[in-house]
Amino acid sequence: MRLGVIDVGSNTVHLLVVDAHDGAQPLPASSHKIELRLSEHVNDDGTIATKGRDRLATFVGECLTVAEDQGVEELMGFATSAIREAPNGDDVLAYVRDRTGVTLDVLSGEDEARLTFLAARRWFGWSAGRLLLADIGGGSLELAVGTDEDPDVAVSLPLGAGRVTRDLLPGDPPDPEVVREARRHVRAQLATQMRPFAKAGAPDHAVGTSKTMRSLARICGAAPSSEGMYAVRVLKRAALSEVLPEIAAKSAAQRRSLPGVSASRAPQLLAGAIVAEAAMDLLGVDQLEIAPWALREGLILRRLDGMHSA
């Protein structure tokens, strides 16, 4: 069947259309997205501003039209940290539903981690052994580890690249002391969650997902996107630590010249690098293999599993 998934993230709103069948790999058929940056349309009290709400509703309406044109049989929609944490998140979702007829379900941070882990497990298979996952979004960082399809440990931390940039890294480029303090803050938050991961045991395979991880891997020498989704891409901690001071010294405009860095992601690149390096260091992994599947694919896989069990 043809499924559509609307993913409302802190940075982008993305419609992915796939041909999905039980026991088969979901095959992408169409993609439609916008860099909405919902986390930047926030008032001082944390509520989502009217402009952001209206742009979200307009684009979800566009996604509905595209889905209909693509012959989508079932359309799912979900929202993550930007909506989840806003005091008026429910009102925004009701507004979108009234305007478009599309219901967006809010995922918890733990659900994000578990669904992304499911996608990574299916991609790498059982031969990966105990799998460790790190996913850097715009608003949150998800970590998970386990030997099955449902992880033994799954946590979400408010350490997304957009959030860290907004809250901890003012300036373009930020002052070195600001960068040092942001690094200290990120590591202190991560350290509070390390005990369950230590108890879970050393992973056999460590995986990174998200556009931020892919960009960092590309900067550190990984294959470009033109080589396709099956090319093995690895982000090595030593290489990241070496390039991080260079990223910190560049303005957002200068970071755009780095390989694999888009203009829209350049402002958040430093925050992503700080979070990725800290996570790898504290989790004790030397490298992350980049998985092409993540949250959207995890949601599709769970839906297919539900159809099979029914």
Domains annotated for the chain, with CATH where assigned, are 2-106 (3.30.420.40), 109-295 (3.30.420.150)
Residue that wins the pLDDT comparison between 309 and 30: 30
| pLDDT, tens digit (0-9, with 9 covering 90-100), for 109-152 | 999 999 999 999 999 999 999 999 999 999 999 999 999 999 99
Burial of 306 (0-12, 13-18, 19+ CB in 10 A): exposed
- Dihedral sign for Cα 145, 149, 152, 155, please: positive
pLDDT value, residue 11: 87
Phi, psi of 268 (to 5 degrees): -95, 0
pLDDT value, residue 253: 97
Whole-number Å distance between alpha carbons of 73 and 90: 26
Whole-number Å distance between alpha carbons of 99 and 87: 20
pLDDT value, residue 296: 92
Mean pLDDT is lowest, of 35-49, 132-146, 191-205, for 35-49
Q: Which of 234, 232, 270 is nearest to 249 (CA)?
A: 270
For residue 119, what are its two tokens?
């996608």
Does 299 have pLDDT greater than 60? yes
What residue type is assigned to position 113 of the chain?
A
Does 308 have pLDDT greater than 70? no
271, 161 Cβ separation under 8 angstroms = yes
- Beta-bridged to residue 234, according to DSSP, are 289
Whole-number Å distance between alpha carbons of 294 and 124: 12
**Residue 70: C-alpha distances to residues 4, 109, 296 (Å):** 9, 30, 18
Write down the mean pLDDT value for the chain: 95
Whole-model pTM? Answer: 0.95
In the block, residue with structure tokens 């008032």: 43
pLDDT value, residue 162: 92
Does 310 have pLDDT greater than 80? no
Mean pLDDT is lowest, of 23-27, 84-88, 183-187, for 23-27
Whole-number Å distance between alpha carbons of 215 and 243: 13
Whole-number Å distance between alpha carbons of 6 and 96: 13
Helix (H) or strand (E) holding 164: helix 161-168
**Residue 183: C-alpha distances to residues 153, 169, 188, 211, 278 (Å):** 24, 10, 9, 21, 8
Residue that wins the pLDDT comparison between 46 and 278: 278
For residue 104, what are the contacts with CB-CB under 8 A and spacing of at least 6?
6, 8, 60, 77, 78, 79, 83, 93, 96, 97
For residue 276, what are its two tokens?
């990725």
In the block, residue with structure tokens 């379900």: 105
Helix (H/G/I), strand (E/B), else coil: 268: helix
For residue 215, what are its two tokens?
């960009």
144, 155 Cβ separation under 8 angstroms = yes
Kindly give the interhelix angle for 50-69 and 89-100, rounded to the nearest 10 degrees.
40
| Strands lying side by side in the sheet with 131-136 | 153-157, 141-146, 131-136, 205-209, 287-290, 234-236
